[in-house]
Amino acid sequence: MEFSARQLADFLHGEVDGDPSVKVSDFSKIEEGRPGTISFLSNPRYEPYIYETQSSVVLVNRDFEPSKPVSATLVRVENAYESLAKLMTLVSGERAKPEGISQLASLHATAVTGSGCYIDSFASVAAGAVIGNNVQIHSRVSIGENVVIGNNTILYPGVVIYRDCRIGNNCVIHANAVIGADGFGFAHAEDGSYSKIPQLGNVVLEDDVEIGACTTIDRATMGSTYIRRGVKLDNLIQIAHNVEVGEDTVMAAQVGIAGSTKIGKRTMFGGQSGANGHIHIADGSILAARAVAMSAIDEPGKMWSGFPAVPLLSFQRSFIANKNLPELQKTVTQLKKQLEALEKRLSEEKK
């Protein structure tokens, strides 16, 4: 990869502020910038680095106004972070994609594979599975009976997809994720024991979904667990049986969603947040880190925090009040002593 600042600006529909002929051949973080690399600035907290970075080119938002001289050439774009993603996607696409089916892979005679597929050593594809075109199946992936996988999907090492699940086009599933394990369904008997409830449904991942490493998505008891188009899940997430995650939702690491909860479109879940079972989360809701929705969220587009989750403003007020509790306790203790002294004096005067 080697691009001039002018070529970058043309590709990103941006404007060059500086030397348009300067060339870059790699990426670097702005605080670790090196000559010949491109960095980006989108978070204002990193602005001090732009005045000292050695990067040759820096992507910035179009409205960025430096407070000091900048030695790097700036490429001004509408959204620096989004533009960086476009560039990295372009570079990633230039890498050679693996193809071919290893002799050490195990494919059932009834499995169907499309053109341009890559299936690595020790991968296993069971009976009735249908694999689309240009799918990458890396080492030790296990694909169960009657699984359907769409075009251009990538399954990284150790992924397990249980029987009957459906994976869409252009999905990415990272190492050791498990799609379609049994939901946590047990009937509690009078003697205190538990009887397993068979999990007869499946999991459906729609197009353009990305699943992080070691994330688990349970199959439905009946019907399907749905991960809708464009959802992005981080590592170490648990999605329970019969959950529906709406389009373009994002979840950070260690989120947990209990069974049969319906999550709206374009929601955001911070790290270690979650939702109780059998509730609805409205479109555009944002749950801050460690927030847990214990009951339905019906009003769209609001931010929630705390356990149980409450609207952000209410949480902030409670947090401030909580910080003031030690002083408030001292004040109450002082008032109590003053009141006791006053009562004692009035009692003595009556005598």
Q: Which of 138, 174, 188, 241 is catalytic?
A: 241
Asked about 241 being catalytic, the answer comes back as: yes
Say how many C-beta atoms besides its own lie within 10 A of residue 338's C-beta: 10
Q: Does residue 193 sit in helix, strand or coil?
A: coil
CA torsion 123-128-132-133 (nearest 10°) is: 70
Specify the DSSP class assigned to residue 21: T
Q: What is the CA radius of gyration of the chain?
A: 28
Question: Strands 210-211 and 160-161, how do they pair?
Answer: unpaired
62 vs 79: CA distance, rounded Å: 8
Judged on CB neighbours under 10 Å (0-12, 13-18, 19+), 137 is: buried
- List C-alpha distances in Å: 334 to 132, 265, 330, 348: 75, 52, 6, 21
Q: Judge contact between 119 and 107, C-beta under 8 A.
A: yes
Positive/negative CA dihedral, 74, 76, 81, 85:
negative
Q: What is the DSSP string of 79-120?
A: -HHHHHHHHHHHHHHTSPPP-EE-TTSEE-TT-EE-TT-EE-
Q: Judge contact between 3 and 20, C-beta under 8 A.
A: no
Which tokens belong to 291?
């927030």
- Give pairs for 312-315: CB < 8 Å, separation 24+: 312/288
Residue matched to tokens 């949480």: 315
Residues with catalytic function: 241
